[in-house]
Structure 1
């Protein structure tokens, strides 16, 4: 008989179970406490849009933690669609938008738009969810540009003189 645990569908189910358990532990650590949201949207290789959500909070020992809680596939990257996806993810993990005290996104208009961006929509529901621009995203963009412009130098640095 073949061991069915090596079947790709079984492996996927096992990974999904582990992911759910880890996410549950993270959300139980937060419970009814306050937290921040870090959100980024992008498309995968098949051009399907997805939303990655990270929570930032202080645990019971006073340690600041940032933990990934999920990827949500969205049809559109409009601010209202992104907000609904975030609300759904939070609700599925017993977290409330009322406890959000910070929100961080990149600089795209659908995220930080003053009147109709995700930032504004969440601020309407929770005025305590202060917006902070995600500078890590800018740093990543700078690193990519610098690396692309210096590729020939990387090869030269590896050559023996």
Structure 2
């Protein structure tokens, strides 16, 4: 149903001259199932969901209105409420941004012919990009999320308002602004944990040991060996 809705929208846009037509253009995409063992697949899943969210919402609305099955209709209604929330969209874009940074490293580490020196360079670049995102990426990320929500008629909370916590008594919850919740508790905290995880897995000692193994490889008569690189 999602593919049918997508095809109909594309054909309508082409007929109205809103999209160019030609070989290799407007190819069909589909929702991608994430793999439990390959994290790169999660990135593809998030990208496809962002691109096709409007079609997914339309199909869920059709299921709700159809009333063929009360169970399906109720489940679709719950999913609609979740998909059309700022919490979901912000998390969707946030995880997509993080995985976009770590995706290249993830693919490199899964290769059978892994080249250690290149992998360590990717680890360093990944850490640097995450740090830049944490220090300077908030405004750009919020703009992307807000723009997407605006296009899909999803309510955007006022960042200066007090956060309304779901399912908990307001009297027992510390009063925090939406800005603090999304910027500190979500954006900064998750990126910081990602950096900590990379630092723990690839600390200075383990990195030097891996590089030493690479430089002492007999391949090409030890041409990669350079004592200065080992510090």
Would you say same fold, with TM above 0.5?
A: no
- Which of the two has greater strand per residue? 1
Q: How does the TM-score come out when normalised to structure 2?
A: 0.28
The higher radius of gyration belongs to 2
TM-score normalised according to structure 1 size:
0.36
More helix by share: 2
